[in-house]
Amino acid sequence: MIQIIRPGVLIDFVSKFKIAISISLILILAGIANLVMQGGPKLGIEFKGGTSIQLKFNKPINVVNLRNAIIVSKTFKNSKIQSFGGTNQQFIIYTKKSTSSTTKNIESDLRRVLTQKFGSSYKIMKVDMVGPKIGKEFRDKGIEAIVIALFAILIYISIRFQYRFAVGAIAALFHDVLITVGFLSIFGYQFTLDVVAAILTIVGYSVNDTIVIYDRIREKVRNNRKLSRTEAINTGVSETLSRTILTAGTTLFVVLALFLFGGHALKGMSFALLVGIISGTYSSIFIASPILLAFKGELIPEKKEEESADRFKQKVEFDMKNLRGN
DSSP output for 165-229: HHHHHHHHHHHHHHHHHHHHHHTT--B-HHHHHHHHHHHHHHHHHHHHHHHHHHHHHHH-TTS-H
Q: State how far the Cα of 322 lies from the Cα of 317, in Å rounded to an integer.
A: 9
Q: What is the pLDDT of residue 312?
A: 44
- The stretch 28-37 carries a mean pLDDT of 93
C-beta of residue 180 within 8 angstroms of C-beta of residue 269: no
DSSP 74: G
Q: Assess whether 116 and 187 both reside in one domain.
A: no
C-beta of residue 85 within 8 angstroms of C-beta of residue 37: no
CATH of the domain at 59: 3.30.70.3400
pLDDT digits (tens, 9 = 90+) for 252-262: 999 999 888 87
Q: Is 309 inside any structural domain?
A: no
The number of beta carbons lying within 10 Å of the beta carbon of residue 158 is: 16
Q: Is 182 inside any structural domain?
A: yes
- Number of domains forming the structure of the chain: 2
CATH of the domain at 294: 1.20.1640.10
Q: Assess whether 188 and 254 both reside in one domain.
A: yes
* Range(s) of the domain holding residue 249: 14-40+135-304
Q: Assess whether 275 and 207 both reside in one domain.
A: yes
Q: Assess whether 116 and 251 both reside in one domain.
A: no
Q: Assess whether 295 and 226 both reside in one domain.
A: yes
Q: Is 321 inside any structural domain?
A: no
Using a 10 angstrom Cβ sphere, with 0-12 exposed, 13-18 middle and 19 or more buried, the burial of residue 8 is: exposed
Measured at the alpha carbon of residue 166, what is the angle toward residues 19 and 194, in degrees to the nearest 5? 80
pLDDT digits (tens, 9 = 90+) for 267-285: 888 999 999 999 999 998 8
* 166 contacts: CB under 8 Å, gap ≥ 6: 153, 154, 155, 157, 158
Q: Assess whether 123 and 205 both reside in one domain.
A: no
Q: Assess whether 20 and 144 both reside in one domain.
A: yes
pLDDT digits (tens, 9 = 90+) for 94-126: 777 655 545 667 778 888 888 888 888 888 888
Q: What is the pLDDT of residue 133?
A: 61
Residue 155 CA to chain centroid, in angstroms?
A: 20
Q: State how far the Cα of 107 lies from the Cα of 70, in Å rounded to an integer.
A: 12
- Of the chain, the percentage scoring pLDDT greater than 70 comes to 81
Q: Tell me: pLDDT of 324 over 80.
A: no
DSSP 124: E
Q: Is 7 inside any structural domain?
A: no
Q: State how far the Cα of 142 lies from the Cα of 136, in Å rounded to an integer.
A: 10
Q: Is 3 inside any structural domain?
A: no
Angle between helices 163-186 and 132-160 (to 10 degrees): 150
C-beta of residue 270 within 8 angstroms of C-beta of residue 251: no
Q: What is the pLDDT of residue 307?
A: 46
Q: What is the pLDDT of residue 297?
A: 64
Q: Assess whether 168 and 243 both reside in one domain.
A: yes
Q: Assess whether 109 and 221 both reside in one domain.
A: no
Q: Assess whether 120 and 155 both reside in one domain.
A: no
pLDDT digits (tens, 9 = 90+) for 180-208: 999 999 998 888 878 888 888 888 888 88
DSSP 43: B
- The stretch 201-230 carries a mean pLDDT of 85
Q: Assess whether 154 and 271 both reside in one domain.
A: yes
- The stretch 43-59 carries a mean pLDDT of 79
Q: Is 185 inside any structural domain?
A: yes
- Which value, to the nearest 10 degrees, does the dihedral of the CA atoms of residues 34, 39, 40, 41 take? -70
Q: Assess whether 25 and 108 both reside in one domain.
A: no
* 51 contacts: CB under 8 Å, gap ≥ 6: 45, 94, 95, 96, 97, 98, 103, 106, 127, 128, 129
Q: What is the pTM of this model?
A: 0.73
